[in-house]
C-alpha cells in the first residue's frame, strides 16, 4: 500500500514538473505563452465573420446564428480568463513553481535565491534547475525501482 501511495505521489510530481518543463521549452523557443487561447480567438473571429456575412447577405439560418452566438460567448469567457492570467513566461512559470514540491531541494533553493536576488525568474537559472530536477527525478525513480525489486526478491525468498 505504501508503495502505491509513493507511486501516486511520484506521478503527481512528475506531471507538475512536465508542465513546468513544457513552459520552460516554450520560453526557450520564443513561443507565445497563450498560443492556444489565440488560436481559439482566431477561430471564433472566423465564425463571427462568417455569421456577419450570412446575416447581411444571405438567408438567416438559425444553426449558423447559434454557432456565432456561442463563439462570441466563448470568446468573451476566454478573454475574461486571459485577462486574469499573467501574460509572460516568467510570471506563468513562477506561478507554477509556488506550489511545486521539488525533488532536488538544494537546486530549488538556488533557483529561489536567484529569483530573490534578481527580482525575477531568469531563463539561465531555470534551465539549470530543470536539468538538475530531471536528474534528481530520474535517480529517485531508479532508486524506487531498486527498492521494489529488493522487496520482491525478499518476498520470494521467504
Q: Is residue 154 included in any domain, yes or no?
A: no
How many CB atoms are closer than 10 A to CB 134?
14
- Whether 8 and 46 map to the same domain: the answer is no
CA distances from 29 to 36, 134, 137 (A): 16, 19, 24
- Whether 133 and 145 map to the same domain: the answer is yes
- Whether 48 and 65 map to the same domain: the answer is yes
| pLDDT at residue 141 is higher than 60 | yes
- Whether 25 and 39 map to the same domain: the answer is no
Please give the residue that has the higher pLDDT: either 89 or 67.
89
- Whether 91 and 145 map to the same domain: the answer is yes
| pLDDT at residue 154 is higher than 70 | no
* Cα first-last separation, the chain: 19
Dihedral (Cα; 76, 42, 38, 67), 10-degree rounding: 40
Q: How confident is the model at residue 1 (pLDDT cuts 50, 70, 90)?
A: very low
- Whether 143 and 96 map to the same domain: the answer is yes
| Cα 155 to Cα 146: distance, rounded to the nearest angstrom | 14
| pLDDT at residue 140 is higher than 60 | yes
Task: Say if residues 70 and 76 touch (Cβ distance below 8 Å).
Answer: no
The full length of the chain comes to: 158
Q: Say how far residue 22 (Cα) sits from the centre of its chain.
A: 6
Q: Is residue 39 included in any domain, yes or no?
A: yes
Which tens digit of pLDDT belongs to each residue from 91-128?
889 989 999 999 999 999 999 999 999 889 999 999 99
Which tens digit of pLDDT belongs to each residue from 71-91?
778 777 877 877 777 778 898
Longest dimension (CA), the chain: 83
- Whether 29 and 91 map to the same domain: the answer is yes
Give φ, ψ of 49 to 5 degrees: -60, -45
- Whether 67 and 47 map to the same domain: the answer is yes
Name residue, grid cell 521494489. 148
**Residue 65: its pLDDT value, please?**
74
Full domain range(s) for residue 63: 34-85
Average pLDDT, the chain: 80
pLDDT > 90 in the chain, percent: 30
- Whether 52 and 122 map to the same domain: the answer is no
Q: Is the pTM of this model over 0.85?
A: no
Amino acid at each position: 500500500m505504501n508503495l502505491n501511495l509513493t507511486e501516486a505521489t511520484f506521478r503527481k510530481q512528475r506531471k507538475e514538473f512536465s508542465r513546468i518543463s513544457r513552459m520552460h521549452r516554450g520560453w526557450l523557443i520564443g513561443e507565445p505563452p497563450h498560443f492556444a487561447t489565440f488560436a481559439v480567438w482566431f477561430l471564433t473571429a472566423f465564425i463571427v465573420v462568417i455569421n456577419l456575412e450570412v446575416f447581411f447577405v444571405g438567408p438567416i439560418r438559425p444553426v449558423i446564428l447559434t454557432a456565432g452566438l456561442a463563439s462570441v460567448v466563448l470568446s468573451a469567457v476566454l478573454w475574461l480568463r486571459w485577462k486574469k492570467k499573467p501574460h509572460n513566461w516568467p510570471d506563468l512559470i513562477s506561478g507554477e513553481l509556488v506550489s511545486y514540491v521539488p525533488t532536488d531541494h538544494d537546486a530549488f533553493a538556488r533557483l529561489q535565491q536567484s529569483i530573490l536576488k534578481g527580482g525575477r525568474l531568469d531563463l539561465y537559472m531555470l534551465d539549470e534547475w530543470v536539468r538538475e530536477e530531471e536528474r534528481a527525478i530520474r535517480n529517485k525513480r531508479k532508486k524506487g525501482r531498486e527498492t521494489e525489486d529488493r522487496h520482491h526478491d525478499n518476498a520470494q525468498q521467504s
